[in-house]
Amino acid sequence: MCETDKESPKGLKIITLFEFLKKFKRLKPLEPSPGVVGFFFFSVCLILCLFLLDYKTVSRGFLTHGQRGLITWVGLNGSKSGGDGRVGFLEDGGGDCDVFSGNWVWDDSYPLYKSENCFLADKGFRCSENGRPDNFYTKWRWQPNDCNLPRFDAKNMLENLRNRRLVFVGDSIGRNQWESLLCMLSSKIEDKSSVYEVNGSPITKHSGFLAFKFRDYNCTVEYYRAPFLVLLTRAPAGAPKKVKTTLKLDQLDWSFKLWKGADVLIFNSGHWWNYQKTIREGCYFREGEDMKMEMSVESAYRRSIETVMDWIESEVNTSKTQVFFRSYAPVHFRGGDWKTGGSCHMETLPDLSSSPLTAESWIRLKIAVEVLSERSEKSDLNKLEFLNVTHMSSRRKDGHSSLYYLGPETGPAPLHRQDCSHWCLPGVPDSWNELLYVLFLKWANARADNSTELPNTR
């Protein structure tokens, strides 16, 4: 026969559910048990403490590897950082702020434009129109830790670009950024016909260059496709059979003569500097007439950046032309790459921690930083701006085109053919351009303070 009460092996009394209910029923509502009351208040306090801890963790960010975490929740009401004690980047005392050290914060007033309202974006970047069901990736704003950025003002930037040329040179991620800036600038242009490609070319993937003119400001925003920055040529006579093409590491891409005379130059490179797109495809390296069959991709990449720096030092007046070098923007393939079924389509939020960079991202960043640092100590290249977007972009696994790059008439791509390299527009490249904007204004203001005018090279 079962006993009502019995001792457990550890000496704890065990009672049946029936006995528990009988005892509970005997409790008088107006004379609560001290034990029950104490337990109730202890539970409430514990819950409140856990809630407060969680709130502080989210609002202040997770601390990993000595860095602040990625996300700072500021509410879904479009609240800005104003009034938080940070100085404005363009205000007195804000100029030394590291704008690349910060967090992604939710801002319901974003995005700065909608893709359906921008006629200058390639269909491959129009994720929402191509079927992406969420728009969370458009709502994140970059917030530096120690200062506030002014909101992007298209008319202000266009006014500062009046009678001038802004030129992007690089790979298709550079084109991604270029189209982002075109959308940002054209968002405040009422007469859309006043913005046009100077040769009448459509804005799509191509092998040459495109230049869009903003007629009312007499300025152009141009893109030159040069994925390696240096010259890609056929294999020389007598080269080994496995050599299909060569990269002349001591010569710039064929389009370099067209870059000269720009008032703002933005270089980027890195996405094509890997084994898959070079040596595996039979693309080897060359300096002068010497084939460098044993040279590593990393060494060749370093040499290519040095060649670009040589050209800037000898051919560009950095007192009149502002030069940027944008760092490598990480990819976020999981389980493979773009050829082997890598994916990112399930990502809808940024990383909540400051995860370390992948080996590929770290090497690309390290090489660029080392070359630019070495040159800036020895020449006038200390005026070159390093647009360091690697760390901030590494946290945005949610921002890629993934399945949504084929156009609305085609629909999402197959699961095994995802694009986790390029970025949706509006999206992450807009934040790169917001940083470009404030650094451009800082440069323009400094020149104005020196009682000089920005150069007119038209």
User: Is 177 within 8 Å of 266 (Cβ atoms)?
Assistant: yes
The pLDDT, as a whole number, for residue 379 is 76
From residue 50, give the alpha-carbon distance in Å to each of 39, 44, 54, 56: 16, 10, 6, 10
Q: In terms of Cα–Cα distance, which of 383, 384, 381, 396 is closest to 429?
A: 396
Cβ–Cβ < 8 Å for 180, 435: no
Say whether pLDDT at 195 is over 50: yes
Place of tokens 């070159």: 384
Among 332, 345, 391, 422, the one annotated catalytic: 422
Active site residue 172: yes
Average pLDDT of the segment spanning 287-309: 97
For tokens 């009422």, what's the residue?
Answer: 190
Amino acid 16: pLDDT? 44
- pLDDT by residue (tens digit) across 388-404? 999 999 999 999 999 99
Residue 440 structure tokens:
């451009």
pLDDT at 194: 98
Which among 85, 150, 140, 80 has a CA at the least distance from the CA of 110? 140
The whole-angstrom separation of Cα 332 and Cα 400 is 8
What's the pLDDT at 203? Answer: 84
Is the pLDDT confidence value at 97 over 90?
Answer: yes
pTM for the full predicted model: 0.81
Those residues whose C-beta lies under 8 Å from the C-beta of residue 325, and which sit 6 or more positions away, are 266, 267, 268, 305, 308, 368, 372, 384, 385, 386, 387
Q: Are strands 102-106 and 87-88 parallel, antiparallel or unpaired?
A: unpaired
- Give me the mean pLDDT over the 400-412 stretch: 94
* pLDDT tens-digit series, residues 31-45: 445 554 455 556 655
**Following DSSP, what letter does each residue of 226-276 receive, concatenated?**
-TTSEEEEEPPTT--TT--EEEEEEEE-TTHHHHTT-SEEEEE--TT-STT
Contact indicator for 327, 368 with CB cutoff of 8 Å: yes
- What is the SS3 assignment for 309? helix
Catalytic-labelled residue, pool 172, 180, 304, 327: 172
Of 13 and 407, the one with more pLDDT:
407
- Angstrom distance (rounded) from CA 70 to CA 143: 10
Span 236-254, pLDDT tens digits: 999 999 999 999 999 999 9
SS3 at position 210: strand
Q: Which two tokens stand for residue 80?
A: 């800005």
Q: Give CA torsion, residues 276, 278, 280, 284, to 10 deg.
A: -160
**Pick from 297, 160, 135, 282: which is nearest to 218 by CA?**
160
If you search the block for the tokens 């917001």, which residue do you land on? 434
- Cα gap 252→248, rounded to integer Å: 8
**Residue 426 pLDDT grade (very low, low, confident, very high; cuts 50, 70, 90):** very high
- For the segment 258-273, what is each residue's pLDDT rounded down to a tens digit? 999 999 999 999 999 9
pLDDT of residue 15: 42
pLDDT at residue 71 is higher than 50: no
Mean pLDDT over 46-69 rounds to 36
Is it the case that residue 287 has pLDDT exceeding 80? yes
Please write the tens of the pLDDT for every residue from 355-375.
Answer: 779 999 999 999 999 999 999
The predicted model gives 139-150 an average pLDDT of: 96
Of 61, 12, 70, 58, nearest to 350 by C-alpha is: 70
Q: Is the pLDDT of residue 116 over 60?
A: yes
Classify residue 95 by its DSSP letter. Answer: T
Kindly tell me if the per-residue pLDDT of 292 is higher than 90: yes
% of the chain with per-residue pLDDT over 90: 70
351-to-184, 356, 393 alpha-carbon distances in Å: 26, 11, 10
Judged by DSSP in three states, 414 sits in coil
| 422 annotated active-site | yes
Asked if 106 and 140 count as a contact pair (C-beta separation under 8 A), the reply is: yes
Q: How confident is the model at residue 26 (pLDDT cuts 50, 70, 90)?
A: very low
Query: For residue 311, what is the enclosing H or E element?
Result: helix 297-315
Q: Which residue has the higher pLDDT, 102 or 29?
A: 102
pLDDT at site 202: 87
Strand partners, 15: 5
∠ at Cα 169 (164, 175), nearest 5°? 100
- Per-residue model confidence (pLDDT) at position 33: 52
Summarised one tens digit per residue, pLDDT across range 161-173 is 999 999 999 999 9
Report how far residue 188's alpha carbon sits from residue 180's, in angstroms, rounded to the nearest whole number: 14
- How confident is the prediction for the chain on average, in pLDDT? 84
pLDDT tens, residue by residue, 323-339: 999 999 999 999 988 77
Asked if 212 and 197 count as a contact pair (C-beta separation under 8 A), the reply is: yes
What pLDDT, on a 0 to 100 scale, did the predictor assign at position 205?
A: 67
Q: Which residue carries 């020149």 as its tokens? A: 447
